[in-house]
Every structure is written in structure tokens, then in C-alpha cells.
A and B are shown apart, each in its own frame.
Chain A
Amino acid sequence: KAGVTQTPRYLIKTRGQQVTLSCSPISGHRSVSWYQQTPGQGLQFLFEYFSETQRNKGNFPGRFSGRQFSNSRSEMNVSTLELGDSALYLCASSPDHFTQFFGPGTRLTVL
């Protein structure tokens, strides 16, 4: 089975712009979660989607949003980018809400 794929792998944006990141889960996995990884804060949970519904949300401002499509693919959007949003954004899919399999991440740099 192919693993979790994320596009793009690298992205450079400027402050104030918005960005959309994409994640394709492992085939058959209906749960998709997003995490932000930074050197200072480590890995922090953003949100989880299952069957196109947001089931859980982390402690991030409303500028961070996401959605899931009927084929389980997910996107996350960050509006009005800030320098502090520079991070590695990880997507994880799960067949059962328990064990999560991670993708390679999208490295976002905000200038």
C-alpha cells in the first residue's frame, strides 16, 4: 500500500498570504489528522477529520482550518500567514482512530 502523501513538500510564502496544504491518506483510512512540528513547540495537534467531519480540534487560532473530502483526502488552510507559522505540517491517517501513520510533511516557510 502506498503511504500517506502530502503536497507540496516545500512552500515559501510571505506574511499575510494564505496557503493550502493537501494530504492523501493511505487507501482505506478514513481518519486524517494534522499536526504542526516546530523546534520550539515540538509536535502539536491541529485537527482530526473522519468521514468529512471535524471530530477534534487542537488549540490553534481560527486562521487554521481544514476539510476532508468524500474520498478521505484532506486539506488544511492557513490564512493571514504569520512568521510563527513557519513549520513542518504533518498529516497522519488512521484506520481506527488509534494508530496513526504519518506522511513526509510539508515544510512551510513564511518570510
Chain B
Amino acid sequence: AQSVSQHNHHVILSEAASLELGCNYSYGGTVNLFWYVQYPGQHLQLLLKYFSGDPLVKGIKGFEAEFIKSKFSFNLRKPSVQWSDTAEYFCAVRTNGGSQGNLIFGKGTKLSVKP
């Protein structure tokens, strides 16, 4: 069965530190890739997505992610985090192409940014 792994359960950084959150998936076919963020008390919001083309994807709030097909990875990066980036981050994969639209989520990574 397809699965998504997020390597870190909880990451703690100081403001201005660089961020990289790992995401790997297990599926050999075509995938669409997503990162969602859930700020405390808020609902899931889309950060960025990859469907095709340039494997380096830029999203909102200065986030970017790189799709490396050979490594089945889609890591999220931000050069300099802010306290307001404190949230839980979810990687998600959509497989099966065509009409089926369900997402398979990783377990999430909690990011705590110290001011």
C-alpha cells in the first residue's frame, strides 16, 4: 500500500534558522505532491503543490519544496523561519492519477520556533 513518511515528529528551531522537513513516499507511478500546514487552532491550509514540470516548487510564505523522483522525496524548505511558522506540517501524496482524488498523508511534523 502507498504510504508517506515524515522523518521528524517534532522540530525545534530558533528564529532565522533554516528549515528542512523530510517527506518520502512509496509509490512507483505518477504522483501529485502537497504540503499542508495547520497553525494552532486553525484548519489545514495548502502551502504548495507539485504536479509536473520544474521539480523546485515555490509556495506561500517563503516555503519551497523539491521533488526528487529518484529518491521518492518531496522535502520542504525555508531559508529563515519565523516564530509565526510554528505549526504542524503535513506532506501528502495523491496517487492513481485519473479521477481518484484522495490524499495519503504523512503523520505530520510539529515545528516549534523559539523567538
Contact = CB atoms under 8 A, between A and B. Distances in A.
B100 A42 contact: no
Interface in B57-115: 90, 92, 94, 99-108
Contacts of B42: 104
A100 B32 CA distance: 12
Interface residues of B, number: 23
Interface residues of A, number: 24
B43 A98 contact: no
Contacts of A94: 101
Interface in A29-61: 31, 33, 35, 42-45, 48, 50, 55-56, 58
A44 B4 CA distance: 12
A103 interface: yes
21 contacts: A42-B105, A42-B108, A43-B92, A45-B104, A48-B101, A55-B101, A56-B100, A56-B101, A56-B102, A58-B102, A90-B43, A90-B44, A92-B44, A94-B101, A97-B99, A97-B100, A98-B49, A98-B94, A99-B49, A100-B103, A104-B42
Interface of B: 32, 34, 36, 42-46, 49, 51, 90, 92, 94, 99-108
